[in-house]
Amino acid sequence: MSGAIEEGKGKAIEAGRSGAILVVGLGPGPDCWVTPEVSEALARATDLVGYIPYVNRCPVLEGQVRHASDNRVELDRARLAIDLCRQGRTVAVVSGGDPGVFAMAAALMEALDADPAARDLDVTVMPGVSAMQAAAARLGAPLGHDFCAISLSDNLKPWDLVARRLTAAAQGDFVIALYNPASKARPTRIFEAFDLLRSLKSAETPVAFARAVGRPDEAIVLTTLGAADPGVVDMATLVLIGSSETRLVERPGATRPWLYTPRSATSTAS
Amino acid sequence: MSGAIEEGKGKAIEAGRSGAILVVGLGPGPDCWVTPEVSEALARATDLVGYIPYVNRCPVLEGQVRHASDNRVELDRARLAIDLCRQGRTVAVVSGGDPGVFAMAAALMEALDADPAARDLDVTVMPGVSAMQAAAARLGAPLGHDFCAISLSDNLKPWDLVARRLTAAAQGDFVIALYNPASKARPTRIFEAFDLLRSLKSAETPVAFARAVGRPDEAIVLTTLGAADPGVVDMATLVLIGSSETRLVERPGATRPWLYTPRSATSTAS
């Protein structure tokens, strides 16, 4: 596997032991957002498979093998987990956030879909805290009512489909969480997305750029759709765009107001 | 507060101590999905405020006061938390799932919005695992690509807006997670929602009814939009409706196939 790094000598595998794949998420940053279920899975795994920075966040255990790989090789990682499981190993496939939200669970399912002989393997997916939830908690309650999550990456889908979904999200007046908003390979997509949303939604719509929430370099920008500078967005940024009901609550002495979407809505106007 | 139940004698409050409000979520069921951050918050709170079944899930601590209330009094609960905080108490406001997703964080923000004098209180929102994530983990990876979450409750918003959002979700070909899909007060809404979606999406679209995932009475039904019987849905059910890409992976010997949405999409046709 290109870019793979393997460490550790490997735990002894019991004879005849059947393997397992544990698909886990570490949450967006601090250990206090890792569920006990996931901590237990990491402790009993013989092998860790994942993107380098996520594997690096896992506790180092004597005898556990760490298969850390570069970005954009999700299917290779899933196939490696399947191979190791067939050898009787207990493999934790590690994502940040929730493995079920724009992460490794779908890649593993794709690998199983393509490999019928692997479908009787013992696979467990474990939920976790996703980036939009961490951002929402820090901001107040912007996801307090109907919302959608869209990946801006067009590596695996045509941009037309992204644009269609942004348009539908605006027409439905959803709160919008944007994942994978920018990268070196496609730095202009976030500008295109904002141009499209500006043509469909009020310039006064609240917008938050929530970068690395829960990590030491956390940085949050609260702005509006009209005033926002998408140039500040990077791949560690979760972008939240309000519905027509999303509002600010000014706070004396705080660095910024609360941002929230009320549970009630009075208007159906688009 | 109507339906409120108070237990415990109350921890001693230090003189001059300023209070705090900790908005926490217990996840959908088992303790292994409660984050360490939330467990720590529950351990240091002097008071718990929440809907009866959620408060009942919290560990009983000597001297901690439990303010458990009936359903549909979210704003009363938020105001009680504010009152207690002003008295110097450390109040955990308890939701199931993630407090930021169709839960108490938005209600607390509404109460702060309406009470400017309360806005300097020390409030922390903590993210958690929401019901759609637990359901998705059990099913495979149905939320593996763009999705939206819609509450079917029309207690606080007009049904026209729910219908508009369902329509937009179909037009955008999102995976759809439906929260609060049914209740005694509005048993027909889930039928209306399915009628609408059937007019907009393929009858072959995969549908999952995921009831009480992670709890002893967990029950999952995998079906299609055409064949689904919405009559099995209750308020403990999370309803997932696929996009045009969502698919099944048959598994030998398993009780049901995996359900997942691939990371790639090739078509933009509606």
The pairing of beta strand A258-260 with beta strand B90-95: unpaired
Say what the pLDDT of residue A7 is.
Answer: 58
Best-predicted range by mean pLDDT among A93-97, A265-269, B181-185? A93-97
Are residues B81 and B187 both part of a single domain?
no
CA of A66 vs chain B CAs: smallest distance (Å): 24
Say what the pLDDT of residue B99 is.
Answer: 98
Q: Which helix (H) or strand (E) holds A229?
A: none
Average pLDDT over residues B131-155: 95
Say what the pLDDT of residue B11 is.
Answer: 56
**Which of B260, B266, B262 has its CA nearest to residue B248?**
B260
For chain A, the C-alpha Rg in angstroms (whole number) is 20
Choose from A71, A148, A220, A245 for mutation: most chain B CBs within 10 A.
Answer: A148
The answer to whether position A20 is within a domain reads: yes
Domain closes at, from A92, A125, A158: A125
> In the structure, what pLDDT confidence band is assigned to residue B156 with cuts at 50, 70 and 90?
confident
Rounded Cα–Cα distance for residues A6 and A4 (Å): 7
Are residues A9 and A100 both part of a single domain?
yes
Which of B137, B164, B264 has its CB closest to that of A172? B164
> For residues A103-118, b (16+ Cβ closer than 10 Å) or e, as one string?
bbbbbbbbbbbeeeeb
Range of the domain at A117: 5-125
B61 φ, ψ (degrees, to nearest 5): -120, 135
Asked whether the beta carbons of residue B157 and residue A264 sit closer than 8 angstroms, the reply is yes
Helices B189-200 and B159-171 pack at an angle, to 10 degrees, of 30
The answer to whether position A150 is within a domain reads: yes
> In the structure, what pLDDT confidence band is assigned to residue B155 with cuts at 50, 70 and 90?
confident
CA of A9 vs chain B CAs: smallest distance (Å): 30
What would the pLDDT profile of A153-188 be if each residue is shown by its tens digit? Answer: 877 889 999 999 999 999 999 999 999 998 777 788
> In the structure, what pLDDT confidence band is assigned to residue A269 with cuts at 50, 70 and 90?
very low
The answer to whether position A219 is within a domain reads: yes
Are residues A94 and A207 both part of a single domain?
no
The answer to whether position B269 is within a domain reads: no
Asked whether the beta carbons of residue B149 and residue A147 sit closer than 8 angstroms, the reply is yes
Which of B127, B136, B265 has its CB closest to that of A129? B127
More confident of the two residues B238 and B269: B238
Q: How many CA atoms lie within 13 A of A220 on its CB side?
A: 21
Average pLDDT over residues A115-121: 96
What is residue A14's DSSP assignment?
P
What would the pLDDT profile of B206-248 be if each residue is shown by its tens digit? Answer: 999 999 999 999 999 999 999 999 999 999 999 999 999 999 9
Domain closes at, from B125, B144, B166: B125
We report the CATH number of the domain holding residue A242 as 3.30.950.10
Are residues A117 and A32 both part of a single domain?
yes
Torsion of CA A83, A89, A94, A99, to 10 degrees: 80
Are the CB atoms for B61 and B43 separated by under 8 Å? yes
CA of B67 vs chain A CAs: smallest distance (Å): 22
> For residues A149-167, b (16+ Cβ closer than 10 Å) or e, as one string?
bbbbbbeebeeebbebbbb
ipTM given for this complex: 0.94
Largest interatomic CA distance in chain A: 65
Asked whether the beta carbons of residue B141 and residue A253 sit closer than 8 angstroms, the reply is no
A118 φ, ψ (degrees, to nearest 5): -95, -5
Lowest mean pLDDT among A77-91, A123-137, B149-163: B149-163
Other Cβ atoms less than 10 A from the Cβ of B6: the count is 12
> In the structure, what pLDDT confidence band is assigned to residue B33 with cuts at 50, 70 and 90?
very high
SS3 call for A147 = strand
CA of B121 vs chain A CAs: smallest distance (Å): 9
| The pLDDT of residue B54 is above 70 | yes
Token pair for residue B164? 């508009």
We report the CATH number of the domain holding residue A115 as 3.40.1010.10
Average pLDDT over residues A107-112: 98
| The pLDDT of residue A241 is above 90 | yes
Token pair for residue A61? 């255990």
Average pLDDT over residues B2-19: 57
Are residues A110 and A219 both part of a single domain?
no
Average pLDDT, chain B: 92
Are the CB atoms for B140 and B260 separated by under 8 Å? yes
Are residues A137 and A219 both part of a single domain?
yes
Average pLDDT over residues B60-85: 95
Are residues B62 and B162 both part of a single domain?
no
Tell the burial category of B253 from Cβ atoms under 10 Å away from its Cβ (0-12, 13-18, 19+).
exposed
CA of B73 vs chain A CAs: smallest distance (Å): 13
The answer to whether position A234 is within a domain reads: yes
Asked whether the beta carbons of residue B174 and residue A165 sit closer than 8 angstroms, the reply is yes
Average pLDDT over residues A106-129: 97
Say what the pLDDT of residue B267 is.
Answer: 57
Q: CA angle, corner A110, sides to A109 and A115, nearest 5?
A: 95
The answer to whether position A265 is within a domain reads: no
The answer to whether position B58 is within a domain reads: yes
Say what the pLDDT of residue B154 is.
Answer: 75
Token pair for residue B14? 């230090």
Are the CB atoms for A230 and A190 separated by under 8 Å? yes
Domain closes at, from A125, A160, A187: A125
Are the CB atoms for B235 and B180 separated by under 8 Å? yes
Chain A residue with minimal CA distance to B253? A120
Rounded Cα–Cα distance for residues B189 and B53 (Å): 25
More confident of the two residues B187 and B257: B257
| The pLDDT of residue A16 is above 70 | no
Token pair for residue A175? 């709160």
| The pLDDT of residue A1 is above 80 | no
Average pLDDT over residues B114-122: 96
What whole-number percentage of chain B has pLDDT above 70? 92
Are residues B252 and B183 both part of a single domain?
yes
Are residues A119 and A135 both part of a single domain?
no
Are residues A188 and A101 both part of a single domain?
no
The answer to whether position A73 is within a domain reads: yes
Asked whether the beta carbons of residue A171 and residue B174 sit closer than 8 angstroms, the reply is no
- Report how many domains make up chain B: 2
Choose from B95, B165, B200 for mutation: most chain A CBs within 10 A.
Answer: B165
SS3 call for B32 = helix
Say what the pLDDT of residue A106 is.
Answer: 98
Which of B128, B134, B268 has its CB closest to that of A129? B128
Asked whether the beta carbons of residue B105 and residue A247 sit closer than 8 angstroms, the reply is no
SS3 call for A196 = helix
| The pLDDT of residue B8 is above 70 | no
Say what the pLDDT of residue A252 is.
Answer: 87
Say what the pLDDT of residue B183 is.
Answer: 72
Q: How many CA atoms lie within 13 A of A29 on its CB side?
A: 18
Are residues A136 and A91 both part of a single domain?
no
Average pLDDT over residues A6-26: 72
Are residues A63 and A175 both part of a single domain?
no
Which of B35, B113, B270 has its CB closest to that of A32? B35
Asked whether the beta carbons of residue B133 and residue A127 sit closer than 8 angstroms, the reply is yes
Other Cβ atoms less than 10 A from the Cβ of B242: the count is 26
What would the pLDDT profile of A214-228 be if each residue is shown by its tens digit? Answer: 999 999 999 999 999
